[in-house]
Amino acid sequence: MRVATWNINSVAVRTDRLLAWLGSAQPDVLCLQELKVATDEFPVDEVRAAGYDVAAHGAGRWNGVAILSRVGLADVVRDLPDQPTFGGAVEPRAIGATCGGIRVWSVYVPNGRTLEDPHYAYKLAWLGALRDHARAELTRPEPWLVLGDFNVAPTGADVYDVEAFVGSTHVSDAERAALAALEEAGLVEVVPRALKYDLPYTFWDYRQLAFPKNRGMRIDLAYVSPALAAAVTDAYVDRDARKPGKKDAFASPPSDHAPVVLDLSL
């Protein structure tokens, strides 16, 4: 089974890129983040025509998550139990479903903005809710995994320049401790274990030629239950999907994230 995650940065704008990537990469399950559309505005018909069932969770111009599957899609749950609010609202940042006998979650962790912003405390609380949910879900009999944009670089090796991020979110001790808590709860971050080469970045800012200069971060991650970790046979970051592409090939520029792909032998 091939499982992938991709922050698409507006599914409405990049439907053509999504369909092209589904055709070339052939994932069995794809977790999407940052849909930037309401649930009923997701391009369901186009994706179904490509062979995928869809479970989407969105609220409009910000956030939003989805799971696309061609190996079944059942027991869909939107939002984490006890998911914290921001501005009085539960944002559409998590969706779970059972696909091909595996419990899959797609998550879009809050950005945090700055260390002083209320969004940062919200981010830490959100990661705490994910940890608690993972701990409960790991008691289920089926394999379990959570993929998505975590908005945290796990180590200094996951950013292009450690000095450039001093005093910023995404690299703070508290955020990294929240990731470590996921592993303490029983999850395994599998991409570093499965990659055959150096860890590639998954996000590059649109500004200052960050992608051509490879000034990136590794913030799109995959955590799995221990039994499933042994089934991961390969992993890669599809850096080509971040490239602009040939002239006139797409109606839109690429997302600022690249897909992360796992191959599982079940």
Estimate to the nearest angstrom the gap between the alpha carbon of 177 and the chain centroid: 19
182 and 223 in contact (C-beta within 8 Å)?
Answer: yes
Query: How do residues 188-213 score in pLDDT, each as one tens digit?
Result: 999 988 886 778 999 999 999 999 99
Check whether 248 has a pLDDT greater than 80.
no
Q: How confident is the model at residue 60 (pLDDT cuts 50, 70, 90)?
A: confident
219 and 202 in contact (C-beta within 8 Å)?
Answer: yes
Check whether 141 has a pLDDT greater than 80.
yes
> What integer pLDDT is reported at residue 249 of this predicted model?
85
* Strand pairing report for 53-57 and 65-69: antiparallel
Name the least confident of 57-61, 116-120, 195-199. 195-199
- How many of the other CB atoms lie within 10 Å of CB of 65? 28
3-state secondary structure of 77: strand
How is the chain split into domains, by residue range?
2-264
Calculate the average pLDDT of the chain.
95
Check whether 46 has a pLDDT greater than 80.
yes
Check whether 251 has a pLDDT greater than 90.
no
153 and 99 in contact (C-beta within 8 Å)?
Answer: no
Q: Cα(129)–Cα(196) distance, rounded to whole angstroms? A: 32
Q: How confident is the model at residue 241 (pLDDT cuts 50, 70, 90)?
A: very high
> What integer pLDDT is reported at residue 124 of this predicted model?
98
Query: How do residues 81-117 score in pLDDT, each as one tens digit?
Result: 999 999 999 999 999 999 999 999 999 999 999 999 9
Entry pTM: 0.97
Distances (CA, A) of 126 to 67, 76, 90, 162, 244: 20, 20, 11, 25, 33
> What integer pLDDT is reported at residue 156 of this predicted model?
95
> What integer pLDDT is reported at residue 246 of this predicted model?
76
DSSP string, 133-181: HHHHHTTSSS-EEEEEE----SSGGGBS-GGGGTT-TTS-HHHHHHHHH
Among 38, 37, 46, residue whose Cα is nearest residue 17: 46
- Top-tier CATH class for 2-264: alpha beta
DSSP-assigned beta bridge partners for residue 102: 99
Q: Cα(84)–Cα(100) distance, rounded to whole angstroms? A: 30
3-state secondary structure of 41: helix
Q: How confident is the model at residue 148 (pLDDT cuts 50, 70, 90)?
A: very high
> What integer pLDDT is reported at residue 105 of this predicted model?
98
What's the mean pLDDT in 115-127? Answer: 98
3-state secondary structure of 2: strand
89, with CB counted inside 10 A (0-12, 13-18, 19+), is exposed
Share of the chain above pLDDT 70, in %: 100
Q: Cα(111)–Cα(122) distance, rounded to whole angstroms? A: 9
